Chain A
Amino acid sequence: MFYREAGQFKTSYAADMAIFPILQDRIGLAVILAIAFIAIPLFGSNFLIQTVMIPFLVFALAAIGLNILTGYTGLISLGSGAFMGVGAYACYKLTTIFPGVNIIVWILASGFFAAAIGVVFGLPSLRIKGFYLTVATLAAQFFLQWSFVRIPWLYNYNASGAIEVPQRLLAGIPVTGANATPVTRYLVLLSIVILLTWIASNLVHGRIGRSWMAVRDMDIAAELMGIRLLPAKLLSFAVSSFYCGVAGACMMFLWYGGGEANDAFNINQSFTILFMVIIGGLGSIIGSYFGAAFISILPTALKFGLPAMGIALSGPVAEHLNYIILGVLILFFLIVEPHGLARLWQVGKQKLRVWPFPY
Chain B
Amino acid sequence: MKKSALALGLVVGALVGTPALHEASAQESVYVPLFTYRTGPFAGSGIPIADGMRDYLEMLNQRDGGIGGVKIVIEECETGYDTKKGVECYEAVKDKKPVLTNPYSTGITLQLIPRASVDKIPMLSMAYGLSASADGTVFPWIFNPPATYWDGASVMVTYMAQQLGGFDKLKGKKLGLIHLDAPFGKEPIPLLENLAKEYGFELKLYPIAAADMQNQSGTWLAIRRDRPDFIYNQGFGAMNPTAVKEAIRNNYPVGKMVGVWWAGGDDDARGGGAEAKGYKALSFNQTGVDYPVMQDIIKHVFDKKLSKVENRNRIGEALYNRGVYNSMLIAEAIRTAQRITGKKVVDGADVRRGLEGLDITEARLKELGMEGFAAPVRVTCADHNGHNKAFVAEWDGGKYVKASDWIEPIKNKVRPLIEAAAKEYASSNTGWPKRSEACDKPS
Which of A's residues lie within 8 Å of B, judged by CB? Answer: 2, 24-25, 27-29, 31-32, 35, 39-40, 43-48, 50-52, 55, 96, 99, 142, 146, 149-150, 156, 158-162, 164-168, 174, 177-179, 256-260, 262-264, 266-267, 290, 297, 300-301, 303-305, 307-309, 314-316, 318-320, 345, 348
Contacts of A31 in B (CB 8 A): 1, 5
- What's the nearest-Cβ distance from chain B to residue A346, in Å? 12
Among the stretches B8-16, B238-246, B379-387, B404-412, the one at the interface with A is B8-16
In the assembled complex, the Cα of A177 lies from the Cα of B182 at a distance in Å of: 24
How many inter-chain residue pairs (CB < 8 Å) link A and B?
Answer: 179
Bound together, the chains give a CA A308 to CA B22 distance in angstroms of 8
Q: Which residues of A contact B9 (CB under 8 A)?
A: 35
Interface of B, secondary structure class, is helix
Enumerate the 4 nearest inter-chain pairs by beta-carbon distance, A residue then B residue, closest first: A28-B1, A161-B183, A315-B78, A167-B431
The 0/1 profile, CB within 8 Å of A marked 1, for residues 59-99 of chain B is 00000000000000000111010011101100110110000
Q: Considering only CB atoms, which chain B residue lies closest to A314 in the complex?
A: B76
B95 CB to nearest A CB, Å: 7
Q: Which residues of B contact A256 (CB under 8 A)?
A: 83, 87, 111
Residue pair B183, A315 in contact (C-beta under 8 Å):
no
Across the interface, A307 reaches (CB within 8 A) one of B22, B87, B107, B211, namely: B22
Whether B117 is near chain A, meaning CB under 8 Å from some CB there, is: yes
Name B337-354 residues within 8 Å CB distance of A: none
Contact check, A257 vs B428: say whether CB atoms are below 8 A apart: no
Residues on the B chain within 8 Å of A29, using CB: 1
CA–CA, A12 and B149, complex, Å: 71
State whether A305 and B15 are in contact (beta carbons under 8 Å apart), knowing that A318-B78, A319-B39 are contacts in the complex.
yes
**B210 on the interface (CB 8 Å rule)?**
yes
Which residues of A sit under 8 angstroms from B77, Cβ to Cβ?
A: 315
Q: Quick one: which of B15, B17, B77 has the most chain A CB within 10 A?
A: B15
Question: Could you give 18 example pairs across A and B, Cβ below 8 Å?
Answer: A45-B95, A96-B428, A99-B430, A150-B181, A158-B428, A160-B110, A160-B132, A161-B183, A165-B114, A166-B428, A256-B87, A266-B210, A297-B11, A300-B88, A304-B15, A304-B88, A305-B14, A315-B36
Q: Which of A55, A149, A305, A345 contacts B182 (CB 8 A)?
A: A149
Contact B182 A260 (CB under 8 A): yes
Contacts A52-B15, A161-B186, A178-B118; A28 near B5 (Cβ below 8 A)? yes
Contacts of A52 in B (CB 8 A): 11, 15
Residues of B within 8 A of A46 (CB): 91, 94-95
Complex-state Cα separation, A304 to B16, whole angstroms? 11
Residue in chain B with minimal CB distance to A174: B431
B290 within 8 A of A: no
Which residues on A sit within 8 Å (CB–CB) of B19?
45, 47
Is B429 a contact partner of A303 (Cβ separation < 8 A)? no
Q: Are A158 and B111 in contact (CB under 8 A)?
A: no
> Which B residues form the contact surface with A (CB < 8 A)?
1-5, 8-9, 11-12, 14-22, 36, 38-40, 76-78, 80, 83-85, 87-88, 91-92, 94-95, 107, 110-111, 114-115, 117-118, 130-132, 181-183, 186-187, 190, 209-211, 421, 424-425, 428-432
Chain A residue numbers with a CB within 8 Å of B431 are 166-167, 174, 177, 179
Residue of A nearest to B187 (CB): A159
A174 — which chain B residues lie within 8 A by C-beta? 431
Q: Is the CB of B111 within 8 A of A48?
A: no
A50 adjacent to B91 (CB under 8 Å) = yes
B91 touches A44 (CB 8 A): no
Alpha-carbon separation in the docked complex, A158 to B211 (Å): 23
Closest to A146 in B: B209
Contact B91 A35 (CB under 8 A): no
Are A159 and B424 CB-contacts (below 8 A) given A263-B107, A301-B15, A315-B77? yes
B78 touches A178 (CB 8 A): no
Given A258-B110, A260-B182, is A35 in contact with B8 using a C-beta cutoff of 8 Å?
Answer: yes
Other A-B pairs beyond A159-B132, A266-B210, A303-B88, 20, CB < 8 Å: A24-B2, A43-B12, A45-B15, A45-B18, A46-B94, A51-B87, A55-B84, A99-B430, A159-B131, A160-B110, A164-B425, A168-B430, A174-B431, A178-B114, A260-B107, A290-B4, A300-B88, A308-B22, A314-B76, A319-B78
